[in-house]
Amino acid sequence: MRIENEGDDVSAPPRHLVFAYYVTGHGFGHATRVVEVARHLILAGHDVHVVSAAPDFVYTTEIQSPRLHIRKVLLDCGAVQADALTVDRLASLEKYHETAVVPRDSILRTEVEWLNSIKADLVVSDVVPVACRAAADAGIRSVCVTNFSWDFIYAEYVMAAGHHHRSIVWQIAEDYSHCEFLIRLPGYCPMPAFRDVIDVPLVVRRLHRSRKEVRIELGVGDDVKLLILNFGGQPGGWKFKEEFLPAGWKCLVCGASEKDELPPNFLKLAKDAYTPDIIAASDCMLGKIGYGTASEALAFKLPFVFVRRDYFNEEPFLRNLLEHYQCGVEMIRRDLLTGHWRPYIERAMSLNPCYEGGTNGGEVAARILQDTAVGKNYVSYKLSGARRLRDAIVLGFQLQRIPGRDLSIPGWYADAQNEFGRRSGSPNFGTNGTVDYLDSSFIKEFEILHGDHHDLPDTKSFLKSLADLAERDTEKCQTREHKAAAAFFNWEEEIFVARAPGRLDVMGGIADYSGSLVLQMPIREACHVAVQKNHPSRQRLWKHALARQQDKGQGLTPVLQIVSYGAELSYRSPTFDMNLSDFMDEGKPISYEKAKNYFARDPSQKWAAYVAGTILVLMTELGVKFENGISMLVSSAVPEGKGVSSSASVEVASMSAIAAAHGLNISSRDLALLCQKVENHIVGAPCGVMDQMASACGEANKLLAMVCQPAEVLGLVEIPGHMRFWGFDSGIRHSVGGADYGSVRIGAFMGQKMIMTTASELLSGSLSSADITNPHDLEESSLELIESEANLDYLCNLSPHRYEASYAKLLPETMLGDKFLEKYGDHNDHVTVIDPKYNYNVKAAARHPIYENFRVKAFKALLTSTASDEQLTALGELMYQCHYSYSACGLGSDGTDRIVHLVQEMQHNKLLKADDTSLYGAKITGGGSGGTVCVISRNSLRANQQILEIQQKYKAATGYMPFVFEGSSPGAGKFGFLKVRLASQRKIEDQLL
């Protein structure tokens, strides 16, 4: 139901009403729109009790009436921001748990008592969940007024950062379900928890003064252009410079500290300045997107230059609203912080904002609330069920983040794709809900000048997406990343395409950094990268990149431009660009440390380090000179944060495509080692090399056997036909950049240094007899062995029996960093740094790789033994041992432990016949602390059924349906590369004959 204008004001009802209006604790934006609704209710003669943590002036500046009552209470916390542009997802969940979950029973008792004491006729919420439940407990109707709900916002946070807080989302959704209906504002997100919806126009605060009056008060003439800087408080330490602005412009700064010194063309606004008047008197706004800034920019037709906020899940929908009405221009954060504002302001001034919709949403909402309070029932939204289903699917797709695998998605789901952005590299859906893997007819639009697509469905799909871009099909290029990619390729020139898969860690895992043997399987999901190089005179630059060159007076210079598909699904910027000269300093490549800091400046573009970092590594390690501009399109179907090497696949595919485009002949092994440098030194993740090796050197349906010293491939092991490996996603986000992985790695290197030091002291005779655990070590026949251990190059070269005999009792369970540094000096690991105040787990961390190397060797040997139930049981037992060794290191998680337990439960179910046992073992993979579990089974229909049973049991226990990885595909080396060019019309016609 949509309600627009219905009269000039809210007419008084038969009786005086009391409204309890709950306002979320997230920023001032909610409070400012509540003001407009509450003002109309008070004008109609009603009392409004506002429950809010916002300062009183937010309400009293606009409403000066005894009918306004303010109660200072915080019942939720919204999103906790790390800074002005970044949300801290885990901190948000923990704060909400502290604010609203722990004291929930007390909150409900207090609110019910208070609602009864004021004799509330209606509870209104924007958009405090517990208010709806409290209203229901008090027997009072409730209505929500909002453009988003907290179950939508927190659901993604739970997926990414706080799986143990999953119950928060369900509780919030249940609270909202007690609400009578939702008054939905423009720019809305999916909100399936609400039963009925009424759409209203924008809620916009009224103006108090004219543009002329505001400018007179500011002392600014009509000939001066005004930019209002509206970030709700500027980022700390931000220094403005006069040259940030175009000539003839002044900047009005909201929220500036009294201590801040501003250039003469920047003006501080008072903290209580009435922002709508200032916005209407300005010529352009620069800020972050929120409902208040977006609605006022639209209402006053003000061009809005906005900067993306990380993990601010409401933003894509408000941004779509701005861009639909030609009101918004995105500025990348790097240019915001470096003061490169002019091109964006000039671009914004060329827009023609065209919003003509209603702006009286406050009045319309107040009328609906008044009618509801006196008992009027608004007609149920006829399509409520379909609307809730659509919202639920959009929400579910956003959380799952794995395109191309939800086989029952209906055709109308395309609307959801338009909201969230589309990712190529995945199968299409047929009308019957089955996967349509595309025939090869579309390839005729390209000439394949080199290489073979190997009949891989995802490669065909990626080439199809390139063909769509080349056609400039406006319907298929609706998302910003598609538009950006369509604009930067010269379709008459050659394009180079590389493909690199993710990997399933079958055995070895974190022991790679200690030199272990590992067994890795390349998975079906992969990353594709398309690269084109062009002379600077022929490179098609985005407008802001061209303006940057002109602004610096550089003339033609090579530029790197990158588009990443699926950006909306990861809340990162979809594009990145830089001058390649930024990688040079006085004729030499910049240091890796400097590059790491360069990419870390903007969290929304930190992803570009995985792609652009490959160029710097090639410059530094191989002396490659890049004299042409480079355009790169990255499309990855390897899901992030699930422990299947999404980052390695991006690095390997990127470097492979760049190498192909520049005629570089790099072996798969060397390319993997170079990509490891990208991750270790430019991204800053202390991973071993097995991920990159598996992605580069692996082959379909084979295990890559590699000794990580540093990367010696022993060969490829065929996966026997009677067994199968699966990957179970636990739903708990994994990161090799996380603290747990890094501290365990440091603990292992500490243990190695202690072992080497002990061996050296044995040789020199300086070790006291009390510290000698194996008297045989003093015998002359042992000296050669002790000498090799004193010079231990990799911890895995120490055998388990030697560890137990001579060193196990000497290693402490834990050790503080400063104690270790004081005694041993350094831990000899160039990619990690010891924190003096951290207490490291030494013994378990050192023991794990020593025993894991033995387990992997045994596993590899068993793979070639006679097929039998005993063989599969032994392989499974080795995987179980690995899993519990991870846990001893502190790298386990509830979700992965649950999956392993479900496998064991299925394996040892006494109700099953012996022949029905199809699952034999499971282990956590990769860096641990969540991510994916590897399962070994028979290759049988029964195994498939049991895998599905475990999937359902896990969902029943956790609410999360685990994604299952199955199948394999070739590594980047086996795939090679494609060189393609858009076919001429004549060739297309000839091929079709």
**Are 922 and 899 within 8 A, CB to CB?**
yes
As a whole number of angstroms, the distance between CA 493 and CA 534 comes to 9
Whole-angstrom distance, CA of residue 394 vs CA of residue 320: 16
Residue (of 834, 971, 212) closest to 524 by Cα position: 971
Strands, E assignment, 197-279:
197-199, 225-230, 249-253, 266-268
Whether 196 sits among the annotated catalytic residues: the reply is no
Please state, in angstroms and as integers, the Cα–Cα distance from residue 547 to each residue in 39, 340, 417, 552, following that order. 46, 10, 32, 9
Residue 99: is it exposed, middle or buried by C-beta count within 10 angstroms (0-12/13-18/19+)? middle
Length of the chain measured in residues: 993
Cis status, amide bond into 710, omega within 30 of 0: yes
Instruction: Compute the 3-state secondary structure of the chain and give helix, strand, coil in percent, each to the nearest 5.
Output: 45, 20, 35
**CA distances, 104 to each of 75, 76, 129, 133, 640 (Å):** 9, 11, 11, 11, 34
Tokens encoding 792? 């231990």
Strands 225-230 and 249-253: parallel
Give 433's contacts (C-beta < 8 A, 6+ positions apart).
Answer: 407, 408, 409, 410
Backbone angles phi, psi at 64, to 5 degrees: -115, 85
Backbone φ and ψ for 360, nearest 5 degrees, come out as: -105, 35
Extract the runs of DSSP E, i.e. beta strands, from 208-315: 225-230, 249-253, 266-268, 284-288, 304-307
Choosing from 175, 691, 740, 777, the catalytic residue is: 691
Tokens of 765: 């005779």
Number of H helices, E strands in the chain: 35, 34
Structure tokens at 249: 């412009």
Q: Which amino acid does the sequence have at 393?
A: I
Residues 888 and 787: their CA atoms lie apart, in Å, by: 30
Give the end-to-end CA distance of the chain in Å, rounded to a whole number. 53
CA–CA separation, 661 vs 683, rounded Å? 24
What residue type is 970 in one-letter code? P
Which amino acid would we find at residue 707?
V
Which DSSP string corresponds to 821-842? HHHHS----TT----TT-EEE-
* Residue in 427, 418, 532 with CA at minimum distance from that of residue 486: 532
Nearest to 919 by CA among 929, 906, 933: 906
Q: Indicate the SS3 state at residue 522.
A: strand
Give yes or no for a contact between 158 and 166, defined as CB atoms under 8 angstroms apart: yes
Q: Which long-range contacts (CB under 8 A, 24 or more apart) does 863-867 make?
A: 863/703, 863/717, 863/719, 863/720, 864/717, 867/720, 867/722
Q: Measured at the alpha carbon of residue 895, what is the angle toward residues 894 and 896, in degrees to the nearest 5? A: 95
Dump the DSSP string for 534-595. E-TTT----HHHHHHHHHHT--S--EEEEEETTHHHHTS-SEEEEEGGGGEETTEEPPHHHH
- The four Cα atoms 5, 11, 15, 19 give a dihedral, to 10 degrees, of 50
Active site residues: 691
